[in-house]
Amino acid sequence: MDKPQKIISVVKLIPKGSVASYGQVADLAGLPRRARLVGKVLREADDLSLPWHRVLRANGTIAFEAQSEQGQHQTARLNEEGIVVVSNKVDLKKYQWQPTLTEILLQLNF
């Protein structure tokens, strides 16, 4: 399984109503310090079933300007899942994904 695939797999594991940071996704994909790669993969991914909107920066902000089309789209989709977005940012304490051991092992290809 190549890197992009692993990243995509992890993103698909993020539960509805929860969010993860780029760095967190990279770590779970076995690619520490590759947060930027996660962004690149999401940018190029065309998979419509990919919940890319659940991936935010480490401080809970959306990686786009609030006014941008993508930013508004992301905010809208998060809202649909019951996630409150204020000032282009969400409360990580409240919504950040806390992967269970099972989820981690599953994605590690066992």
Residues that bind DNA (CB under 7 A): 21-24, 33-40, 42-43, 45, 52-53, 55, 57-59, 63-64, 70, 74
CB of 43 to DNA, least distance (A): 3
Other CB atoms within a 10 A radius of the CB of residue 102 amount to 8
Q: What is the DSSP letter of 12?
A: H
Backbone angles phi, psi at 79, to 5 degrees: -60, -40
Question: Of 69 and 101, which CB lies nearer to DNA in the complex structure?
Answer: 69
CB of 108 to DNA, least distance (A): 20
Question: Of 59 and 98, which CB lies nearer to DNA in the complex structure?
Answer: 59
- From 42, 102, 104, 32, select the one nearest 74 (Cα to Cα): 42
CB of 62 to DNA, least distance (A): 8
CB of 47 to DNA, least distance (A): 10
Other CB atoms within a 10 A radius of the CB of residue 74 amount to 22
Question: Of 65 and 106, which CB lies nearer to DNA in the complex structure?
Answer: 65
At 55, is the secondary structure helix, strand, or coil? strand
